[in-house]
Amino acid sequence: MSLQILMVAAAYLVAAKLGLRQELVRGQVTPLWPPTGIALACLLLLGLRIWPGITLGAFLVNVAIGPTAFAVVMISVGNTLAPVCAYLLLTHVGFRLTLDRLRDALALVFLGALVGMLVSATIGAGALVLSGALEPANFWPTWSVWWTGDAMGVLVCTPLLLVIRHTYRSLPGVTLSRWVEAVALLVSITVVTVMATSSSINLLFLVFPFLIWAALRFELVGAVVCELLVTTIAILSAAHGSGPFAEHDLFTNMVTLQAFNGSAALTALLLAAIIAERNHAHKNIRQVCDRLTEVMSRIERGQGLDQSSPPQGETAQEIRRILGRSPRPTTRADGER
């Protein structure tokens, strides 16, 4: 277990170094904080016992950039409590790691990202104010960037890690035509997103048809990868104040960025979950039809009349079992004793 804790701390530290490249406030608050998404994924995959790795990683990151010892400790606590709270909320509602249900996608977006990350943003921004490193008037702009970064870390990194865990084995069986379509999709959505985030005209809505294409054709894998591309490009644009994020203050840009990325995540994840539910239902229906066909063929061949075959009553029970129905209890006629 100690090795897993050290590996989680190392992954947190490496991801933090990448996230800090786009810092917007005090060299430590960024609109995309991948460590939070990695921390939540590790909790979902390995369990609550690895939380010390998150705390250790957060402490190592903040000890070099934190203004005071008090702020470093409080920020580390907040960065630990946020994914732990998100994990507890998700497990409470029966979250499934496969993300193949609509309720799982909704839980990850609203409970895991938007609600759970309120903890780290509030504790972190509050610690900076209490330590004197931040003016009280800048609390809400800093809080908005902090919350946006942690929430985006969950929406971008957590689904990606969960999808990689479940789908990497199926890649060798993908046909050449599917690879060609996947490459065309990635190139198209990258070009359109770069154009939309570079133009002075707000054209961010042009991205959504490509997210729908990804979810319909490639389900959760395509939706998550395309969401990662779109979110990353939009965050880079907001960090540099270009395109639709130009000539606005920090708080306005963070609200715009959070609204766009949240909408993109909802579109991609929810539609992919709906498609996965539909495909799962079709698969179950096919299995039931195949089993019913087998039972009916036995009945038509007269096996139900053979002494070596189960009686017709047992055959009826088998049909009910295939349909997922339990036989109704037999009741006596009125007046019968």
Q: What is the 3-state secondary structure (H, E, C) of the chain?
A: CHHHHHHHHHHHHHHHHHHHHHCCECCCECCCCHHHHHHHHHHHHHCHHHHHHHHHHHHHHHCCCCCCHHHHHHHHHHHHHHHHHHHHHHHHCCCCCCCCCHHHHHHHHHHHHHHCCHHHHHHHHHHHHHCCCCCHHHHHHHHHHHHHHHHHHHHHHHHHHHHHHHHHHHHHHCCHHHHHHHHHHHHHHHHHHHHHHHCCCCCHHHHHHHHHHHHHHHHHHHHHHHHHHHHHHHHHHHHHCCHHHCCCCHHHHHHHHHHHHHHHHHHHHHHHHHHHHHHHHHHHHHHHHHHHHHHHHHHHCCHHHCCCCCCHHHHHHHHHHHHCCCCCCCCCCCCCC
Q: Count the neighbouring beta carbons within 10 Å of the beta carbon of residue 189.
A: 24
Q: Is the pTM of this model over 0.85?
A: no
CA 155, distance to chain mean position in Å, is 5
Which pLDDT score is estimated for 305? 44
Which pLDDT score is estimated for 2? 85
Q: Using CB atoms within 10 A of its CB, is residue 46 exposed (0-12), middle (13-18) or buried (19+)?
A: middle
Which pLDDT score is estimated for 317? 61
Which pLDDT score is estimated for 20? 78
Residue located via tokens 């203050």:
249
Which pLDDT score is estimated for 87? 98
What residues of the chain score a pLDDT lower than 50? 304-307, 309, 330-337
Angle at alpha carbon of residue 20, lines to 33 and 224, rounded to 5°: 35
Which pLDDT score is estimated for 85? 97
Which pLDDT score is estimated for 7? 95
Which pLDDT score is estimated for 101? 87
